Amino acid sequence: MIRHQIYAVSALILTVALTVAAADTRLSSGQITSSLAAVSENPRLDLTAAQMRQAVLDNIRDYPGQIPPHLLSFPQLASLAQLTVEINFDFNSASIRPESYRDVGAIADALHNPLLLGYGFLVIGHTDSVGGRAYNVGLSQRRAEAIVAALVDPFAVNPGVLQPVGMGEEQLQDPKHPTSGVNRRVQLINVGKKFCFGRSGEQFVCQ
């Protein structure tokens, strides 16, 4: 009888441990730093955030429909160090849900890491296909801006190295299931050395 109780307790402990392990899928600041620091020797992006936003609008105009028949791509971004993070927002809103502030804090910690100082980052917001495409572009832009705002205050990330861009549903991660939650995500992309810092901490544009 005692042996059966021991087995039962052991099985319960194992189940709890596996559940905790499965639930703890959030990225640490160290993981974020490693992903975003994996850059080539001198990465440069000859593509502006304004050009990306215009490309999104052009895609909606050129390929009309409720769900994008043509997914937008930017080959220039494929080789850059990047990371995808799931940030939860209130429904139809740019308000970050409280459970996601831990992840925002982890991103901020990573961006304060000396390995990432001086780099510029795109903060790209994506939505699923619920709602109109043009509306979703605006919603994803506001959400990307909300992430930037949260990183700047209270986490004191330099706003000059962050550029928000809203993609809406134009880059669905799972086109076969356009309303799936996996399509609602935020990308951080390291676009290369944007700023340098002097010995006393002064900031200047890299040459």
Residues 126, 183: Cα–Cα separation, whole Å: 7
Supply φ then ψ for residue 132, to 5 degrees. Answer: -70, 150
Task: Note the pTM of the prediction, 2 decimals.
Answer: 0.83
* pLDDT of res. 200: 66
CATH topology of domain 26-39+47-61+80-205: 60s Ribosomal Protein L30; Chain: A; (3.30.1330)
Tell me how many degrees the CA angle 76-82-87 measures, rounded to the nearest 5. Answer: 125
**Helical (H) or strand (E) element with 199:** none
Residue 73 has pLDDT above 70, yes or no: yes
Residue 19 has pLDDT above 50, yes or no: no
**Domain range summary for the chain, segments of one domain joined by +:** 26-39+47-61+80-205
For residue 177, which amino acid is it? H
- Tokens 């609008």 belong to 57
Residues 96, 150: Cα–Cα separation, whole Å: 9
Mean pLDDT of the chain: 85
Q: Please write the tens of the pLDDT for every residue from 116-126.
A: 988 999 999 99
Q: Please write the tens of the pLDDT for every residue from 107-161.
A: 999 999 999 988 999 999 999 999 999 999 999 999 999 999 999 999 999 998 9
Burial of 63 (0-12, 13-18, 19+ CB in 10 A): middle
**Tokens read off for 51:** 């050009």
pLDDT exceeding 90 applies to what percent of the chain?
A: 70
